[in-house]
Amino acid sequence: MSTDTRPQSESGSAATDADGVRRTERLTERYERIRRSRRRRAIGGLTLLGVIGFLFLQALSAVGMFDAEYNAPFFLESLRDFFPITWYFGVIPFLDIGQYWAFITERQLLFDPAVGQLLVTDPVAFFIDELGIFAVFGEAGTTLAIGLGGTIIGFPLALLFGVLGSERVTPFPLNFVFRGTMSAIRSIPALIWALILIPLAGLGPASATLAVGIDTIGNLGRLFTDELEEISEGPIEAMETTGANRPQTITFGMLSQVTTPFIAWTLYIFEINVRAAVALGVIGGGGLGQILEVQQGLLQFTNTMATLLCIFLLIISVELCSQRIRARLRADEEPMGLWELITGFPQRLVESLSK
């Protein structure tokens, strides 16, 4: 018995050893494969970083970052003007907000007392004859009026182009006529549209409002088109089974599904348009932007900072109201807190101006 068992045991041991060797080889091969994969990813990551670094240097060179003449002493001196300091009791330094407020009231950046008095003495003239709802807010009212007026001017065509640009409404390739028109409008910033419109309305708030309106057609219309592409087929099929014609199907089967998103997107574009109105003011479009450009040109940095504070207050107020309304319209959107609204404002401003 023992003589027969030993060869079987040796054979089984040999097979086990062979399996162990093959398992070890597979593990080794897999380990090497993982190492090679990690090495390739590392090399690819380093190569990508090198390319980004190279492009970054090229970009800095293209904008003259290395050749610019920097004047740090003048910059630091200007900062003292941006943030004037007063001394309380002769020993405690504090930001002199009074200088900001003096300029804000003198130039009527946030409130026009003459128009405000008219609201008390003659409300009919205030609302009807003078149309002073925006004028009562001074220069900030002009900026706000440019954003609101432009949004309302552009909304009808944005709705028309946005609906007709959807493939679910207009068959391919005819829908690309409207999509292409919106893309062409969006390719030109509102600043350029304002310059193009100078021969029509001159350089001022009127041309700025028209420029914002044109810009709204491209931006808002594209959002409408994208929203229509996401609607469900159920309501459309229900309308078709009732024998509804094409306009009825579009109105009650498609647009009825996107009424709330359309309102929310319009409010969002209104926020962007108010910011664009500030930028248009810098080139002569009126409002706070124009005050900012003039004071900056005169090197009156304290007044410049006062104007910036008014811009900040206006944009935050508009965004706060718009965001609250959109949050109520969209149940799935988390309302933004006041702190998040304020701290996230610079990033949102940059994003909106880059669109």
Residue 305 counted as domain residue:
yes
Distance of alpha carbon 352 from the chain centroid: 3
Whole-angstrom distance, CA of residue 209 vs CA of residue 227: 26
Per-residue pLDDT reduced to its tens digit, 329-345: 766 555 566 666 666 66
Report yes or no: 253 and 235 within 8 Å, Cβ to Cβ.
yes
CATH code at 250? Answer: 1.10.3720.10
Average pLDDT over residues 214-218: 95
Average pLDDT over residues 169-198: 91
Query: pLDDT value at position 351?
Result: 62
Residue 317 counted as domain residue:
yes
Residue 146 counted as domain residue:
yes
The count of structural domains within the chain is 1
Length of the chain measured in residues: 355
% of the chain beyond a pLDDT of 90: 46
Per-residue pLDDT reduced to its tens digit, 9-48: 566 666 677 777 888 888 888 889 999 999 999 999 999 9
Q: With bands split at pLDDT 50, 70 and 90, how would you rate the model's confidence at 117?
A: confident
Residue 282 counted as domain residue:
yes
Query: pLDDT value at position 278?
Result: 93
Query: pLDDT value at position 197?
Result: 92
Average pLDDT, the chain: 86
Query: pLDDT value at position 2?
Result: 45
Per-residue pLDDT reduced to its tens digit, 68-100: 889 898 888 888 889 988 887 777 888 888 899
Query: pLDDT value at position 3?
Result: 46
% of the chain beyond a pLDDT of 70: 88
Give the three-class secondary structure for 87. strand
Residue 4 counted as domain residue:
no
Residue 99 counted as domain residue:
no
**Structural domain boundaries enclosing 254:** 113-332
Per-residue pLDDT reduced to its tens digit, 160-178: 999 999 888 888 888 889 9
CA neighbor of 246 nearest in space, from 328, 184, 164: 164
Report yes or no: 104 and 84 within 8 Å, Cβ to Cβ.
no
Whole-angstrom distance, CA of residue 288 vs CA of residue 278: 6
Average pLDDT over residues 52-80: 91
217 pLDDT higher than 90: yes
212 pLDDT higher than 70: yes
Query: pLDDT value at position 265?
Result: 92
Burial (0-12, 13-18, 19+ Cβ within 10 Å), 326 = buried
Query: pLDDT value at position 1?
Result: 44
Q: Which residues contact 112 (CB under 8 A, 6 or more apart)?
A: 135, 136, 137, 138, 141
Per-residue pLDDT reduced to its tens digit, 129-145: 777 788 889 999 999 99
Query: pLDDT value at position 335?
Result: 57
Report yes or no: 100 and 81 within 8 Å, Cβ to Cβ.
no
Q: With bands split at pLDDT 50, 70 and 90, how would you rate the model's confidence at 238?
A: confident
Q: Which residues contact 274 (CB under 8 A, 6 or more apart)?
A: 143, 144, 146, 147, 148, 314, 315, 318
Instruction: From residue 25, give the alpha-carbon distance in Å to each of 21, 22, 37, 174, 332.
Output: 6, 5, 18, 62, 54
Whole-angstrom distance, CA of residue 278 vs CA of residue 225: 28
Per-residue pLDDT reduced to its tens digit, 265-303: 999 999 999 999 999 999 988 899 999 999 999 989 999
Top mean pLDDT of 113-117, 159-163, 234-238, 342-346 is at 159-163
Beta strand extents in 67-209 (DSSP E only):
85-88, 92-95
Q: With bands split at pLDDT 50, 70 and 90, how would you rate the model's confidence at 346?
A: low
Average pLDDT over residues 252-256: 85
Report yes or no: 119 and 126 within 8 Å, Cβ to Cβ.
yes
Q: With bands split at pLDDT 50, 70 and 90, how would you rate the model's confidence at 222?
A: very high
Report yes or no: 171 and 235 within 8 Å, Cβ to Cβ.
no
Looking at per-residue confidence, does 126 or 52 come out higher? 52
Residue 89 counted as domain residue:
no
352 pLDDT higher than 70: no
Neighbours of 85 (CB within 10 A): 9
Residue 36 counted as domain residue:
no
- Whether residue 171 is preceded by a cis peptide bond, meaning omega within 30 degrees of 0, is no
Q: Which amino acid is at 141?
A: G
Looking at per-residue confidence, does 68 or 51 come out higher? 51
Which range among 116-120, 260-264, 316-320 shows the weakest confidence by mean pLDDT?
Answer: 116-120
Query: pLDDT value at position 215?
Result: 95
Report yes or no: 208 and 194 within 8 Å, Cβ to Cβ.
yes
Alpha helices in 167-300 (DSSP H): 175-186, 190-196, 198-201, 205-228, 234-241, 246-248, 259-280, 288-297
Query: pLDDT value at position 216?
Result: 95
